[in-house]
């Protein structure tokens, strides 16, 4: 089992969700985060006081998939989240040691 | 149990009523001239001015501070409303408006003694005096609440309460007496329709002094102090703008044409101030900010306050234009140049705006509009050939500047001996909501 973690631009959330559902993902977790990479921040001005905002709003999606589905999942995310502009985000894949469905007690792949 | 507590409540109410209404009225106007129309409007105006503080100013300010201080900022407005209301009724009104000594009122209206249903004040002969008391109370509250903006994000709540009480009594009351209560400034002919000196400049100077005495906020100039939620500030501006029609319209103390002239000049000044700031910012910074738009409106309102009932509508436009420009300069250039941390620009907007408007009143005053029973010829301004009025206005500005500045400084230092004015640095970093009030926005 692998956890596919994607940091994407916030307005792409629905597109990514649709793409993942289309390839058979049963669920995901999304959280609002702030971050930056090569995309620089912006400057805000309030009555003469300038503030440089380095951290930009992003959405972090986590979706747990069986190991053989990782490739399809990553491709689906790339296709739906890409705009071609700086700041599109990144995808990380990590290993999951254990998974449990709380309601039924199913474990590992049955829990995904 | 409930019947007993009900009886007790009635007993207390009756006693309070006797305290407030006891003693025969002193030599008053023989015939009551209370007018229904005037009274109705003034009741509405009182509500409008009260709304300017709660929640107008509360929202205007809290939207501009950081999230961790939003509730604390609102608490200052609400608490000082409550505190100053009681003090005003007890002794503030009397010392401001009773008697005609040049420096301070008398205690003949202590706890509203002598005010009955038919009693009127010589300053507002067509409305019940109690209504005049309450209307003026709303002004006093607003002035004190304004100052809180200068020390936002760092003043200890307990120290603020002491300050609010002391400042009302030692700074606001004397100045209100001087300008509106028959004191020496009124005697020399100062024109201040709704509080350019008494409210705006007064609070502005006090805010500047307080900001300097308390010192800069931790992280000022380096950390991100971006406003938490400017939409709250916009809502607050709307409440202030609309409420200001009661602030100036009600200062006519009657439902008459002067009130209408006041309202019109007020609204036009707000509109022009907003646009002026907007265009200045657009051309100098590249974008017209919402914060600039609303600040410009308030600057226009602050400046037109002393002039509103004495000037023509188009004068309101010019006043708004000048105020928008001068306050823009004060908030964006002067403040950075001198380096004080007036958190919410109380001095830059209200202080500078009020002073500007007070002087411009001397320029634009129209004799016909300032005519009254005491001065049937009215007070013309510079445009009508009377240059002296501008000097009289300047005299008032200087007098208020000195008294407010010095007394505010002394008061703060005195309170500072008893308890720290600022919260600790750690508490300031954590946020006033949590550390002063035990609450947070979720």
DSSP symbol at B64: T
Sort out which chain B residues have CB atoms less than 8 A from A47's CB and list them.
289, 291-292, 295, 331-332, 345
- Count of structural domains, chain A: 1
The residue among A44, A46, A52, A56 with the most chain B CBs within 10 A of its CB, best to mutate, is A46
- Residue B101 belongs to some domain of the structure: yes
Min Cα–Cα distance to chain B from A37, Å? 20
Say how many residues make up chain B: 442
With CA atoms as reference, the chain A residue closest to B65 would be A46
CB B217 within 8 A of CB B194: no
Say how many residues make up chain A: 112
The pLDDT value recorded for residue B371 is: 85
CA distance A2 to A96: 5
How would you label B31-48 residue by residue, b for 16+ Cβ within 10 Å and e otherwise?
A: eeebbeebbebbbebbbb
CA distance A91 to B49: 56
Sort out which chain A residues have CB atoms less than 8 A from B285's CB and list them.
45
* CATH number assigned to the domain comprising residue A75: 3.30.70.120
Q: Which of A45, A47, A51 sits opposite B295 (nearest CB)?
A: A47
CA distance B27 to B60: 44
**Where do runs of H (alpha helix) occur along B250-381?**
257-285, 290-304, 313-329, 335-338, 352-364, 367-370
Interface membership of B282 toward A (CB under 8 Å)? no
Q: Which class for A72: exposed (0-12), middle (13-18), buried (19 or more C-beta within 10 A)? A: middle
Tens digits of residue pLDDT in B192-242:
999 999 999 999 999 999 999 999 999 998 888 999 999 999 999 999 999
User: Which residue ranges of chain B lie beneath pLDDT 50?
Assistant: 1, 19, 22-30
The pLDDT value recorded for residue B10 is: 63
CB B197 within 8 A of CB B175: yes
Of B175, B8, B161, B158, the C-alpha closest to B77 is: B161
The pLDDT value recorded for residue A43 is: 86
CB B44 within 8 A of CB B124: no
Tens digits of residue pLDDT in B66-91:
999 999 999 999 999 999 999 999 99
Of B92, B195, B212, B97, the C-alpha closest to B146 is: B195
- Residue B25 belongs to some domain of the structure: no
Name the pairing type of β-strands A49-53 and A89-95.
unpaired
Q: Which of A44, A45, A47 sits opposite B345 (nearest CB)?
A: A47
Q: How many CB atoms lie within 10 A of CB B418?
A: 10
CB A63 within 8 A of CB A1: no
Query: CA A40 → CA A51, A60, A84, A88, B145, distances in Å?
Result: 14, 19, 16, 12, 40
- Residue B22 belongs to some domain of the structure: no
Helix axis angle, B388-418 to B157-167, nearest 10°: 140
- Residue B433 belongs to some domain of the structure: yes
Q: Is the ipTM of this complex over 0.95?
A: no
Q: Which of A45, A51, A53 sits opposite B289 (nearest CB)?
A: A45
Query: Which helix H or strand E contains B163, and what residues bound it?
Result: helix B157-167
* CATH number assigned to the domain comprising residue B338: 1.10.3430.10
- Residue B367 belongs to some domain of the structure: yes
Q: pTM of the prediction?
A: 0.88
Q: Tens digit of pLDDT per residue, chain A (112 long)? A: 999 999 999 999 999 999 999 999 889 999 999 998 888 888 888 887 888 888 899 999 999 999 999 999 999 999 999 999 999 999 999 999 999 999 999 998 888 8
Interface membership of B174 toward A (CB under 8 Å)? no
CA distance B437 to B311: 45
Q: Which domain holds residue B379?
A: 34-437
- Residue B23 belongs to some domain of the structure: no
- Count of structural domains, chain B: 1
Interface membership of B288 toward A (CB under 8 Å)? no
Q: Which domain holds residue A14?
A: 2-111
CA distance B138 to A86: 54
Coil, helix or strand at residue A6: strand
The residue among B149, B219, B223, B226 with the most chain A CBs within 10 A of its CB, best to mutate, is B226
Min Cα–Cα distance to chain B from A92, Å? 31
Please state, rounded to an integer, the average pLDDT across all residues of chain B.
92
With CA atoms as reference, the chain A residue closest to B230 would be A46
Min Cα–Cα distance to chain B from A51, Å? 6
Min Cα–Cα distance to chain A from B158, Å? 30
Query: Given an 8 Å threshold on Cβ–Cβ distance, is A51 in contact with B226?
Result: yes
Interface membership of B331 toward A (CB under 8 Å)? yes
Query: CA B161 → CA B34, B83, B119, B156, B164, distances in Å?
Result: 37, 8, 33, 9, 5
Residue A25 neighbours by CB under 8 Å, 6+ apart = A63, A65, A73
- Residue B1 belongs to some domain of the structure: no
Tens digits of residue pLDDT in A66-76:
999 999 999 99
Of A28, A37, A32, the C-alpha closest to A5 is: A28
Interface membership of B225 toward A (CB under 8 Å)? yes
Chain A residues whose C-beta is within 8 A of a chain B C-beta are: 44-49, 51, 53
- Phi and psi dihedrals of A30, rounded to 5? -120, 140
């Amino acid at each position: 089992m692998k956890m596919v973690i994607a940091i994407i631009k916030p307005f792409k959330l629905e597109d990514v969700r649709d793409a993942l559902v289309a390839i058979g993902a049963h669920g995901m977790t999304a959280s609002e985060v702030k971050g930056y990479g090569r995309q620089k921040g912006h400057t805000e001005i309030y009555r003469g006081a300038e503030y440089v905002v380095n951290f930009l709003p992003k959405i972090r999606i986590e979706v747990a998939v069986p190991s053989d589905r990782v490739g399809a999942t990553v491709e689906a995310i790339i296709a739906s989240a890409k705009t071609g502009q700086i700041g599109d985000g990144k995808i990380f894949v990590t290993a999951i040691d254990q998974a449990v469905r709380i309601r039924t007690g199913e474990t590992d792949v049955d829990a995904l | 149990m409930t019947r007993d507590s009900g009886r007790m409540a009635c007993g207390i109410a009756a006693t309070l009523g006797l305290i407030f209404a006891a003693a025969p009225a002193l030599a008053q106007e023989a015939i009551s001239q209370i007018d229904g129309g005037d009274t109705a409007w003034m009741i509405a105006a009182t509500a409008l001015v009260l709304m300017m503080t709660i929640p107008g100013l509360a929202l205007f300010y809290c939207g501009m501070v950081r999230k961790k201080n939003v509730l604390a900022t609102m608490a200052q407005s609400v608490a000082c409303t409550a505190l100053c209301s009681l003090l005003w009724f007890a002794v503030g009104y009397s010392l401001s408006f009773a008697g005609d000594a040049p420096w301070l009122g008398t205690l003949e209206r202590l706890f509203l003694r002598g005010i009955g249903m038919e009693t009127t004040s010589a300053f507002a002969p067509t409305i019940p005096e109690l209504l005049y008391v309450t209307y003026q109370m709303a002004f006093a509250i607003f002035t004190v609440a304004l100052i809180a903006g200068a020390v936002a994000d760092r003043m200890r709540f307990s120290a603020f309460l002491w300050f609010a009480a002391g400042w009302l009594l030692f700074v606001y009351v004397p100045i209100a007496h001087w300008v509106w209560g028959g004191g020496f400034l009124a005697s020399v002919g100062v024109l201040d329709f709704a509080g350019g000196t008494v409210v705006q400049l007064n609070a502005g100077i006090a805010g500047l002094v307080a900001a300097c005495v308390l010192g800069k906020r931790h992280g000022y100039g380096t950390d991100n102090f971006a406003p938490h939620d400017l939409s709250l500030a916009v809502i607050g501006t709307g409440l202030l703008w609309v409420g200001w029609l009661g602030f100036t319209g009600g200062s006519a103390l009657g439902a008459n044409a002067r009130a209408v002239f006041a309202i019109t000049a007020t609204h036009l000044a707000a509109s022009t101030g907003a646009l002026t700031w907007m265009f200045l910012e657009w051309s100098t910074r590249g974008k017209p900010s919402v914060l600039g738009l609303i600040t410009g409106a308030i600057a226009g309102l602050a400046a037109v306050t002393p002039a509103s009932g004495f000037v023509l509508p188009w004068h309101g436009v010019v006043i708004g234009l000048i105020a928008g420009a001068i306050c823009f300069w004060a908030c964006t250039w002067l403040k950075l140049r001198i380096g004080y941390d007036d958190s919410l620009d109380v001095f830059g907007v209200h202080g500078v705006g009020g002073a500007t408007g007070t002087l411009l009143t001397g320029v634009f005053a129209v004799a016909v509009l300032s005519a009254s029973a005491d001065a049937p010829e009215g007070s013309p301004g510079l445009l009508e050939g009377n240059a002296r009025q501008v000097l009289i206005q300047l005299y008032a500005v200087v007098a208020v500047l000195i008294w407010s500045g010095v007394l505010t400084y002394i008061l703060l230092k005195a309170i500072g001996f008893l308890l720290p004015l600022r919260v600790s640095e750690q508490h300031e970093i954590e946020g006033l909501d949590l550390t002063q009030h035990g609450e947070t926005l979720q």
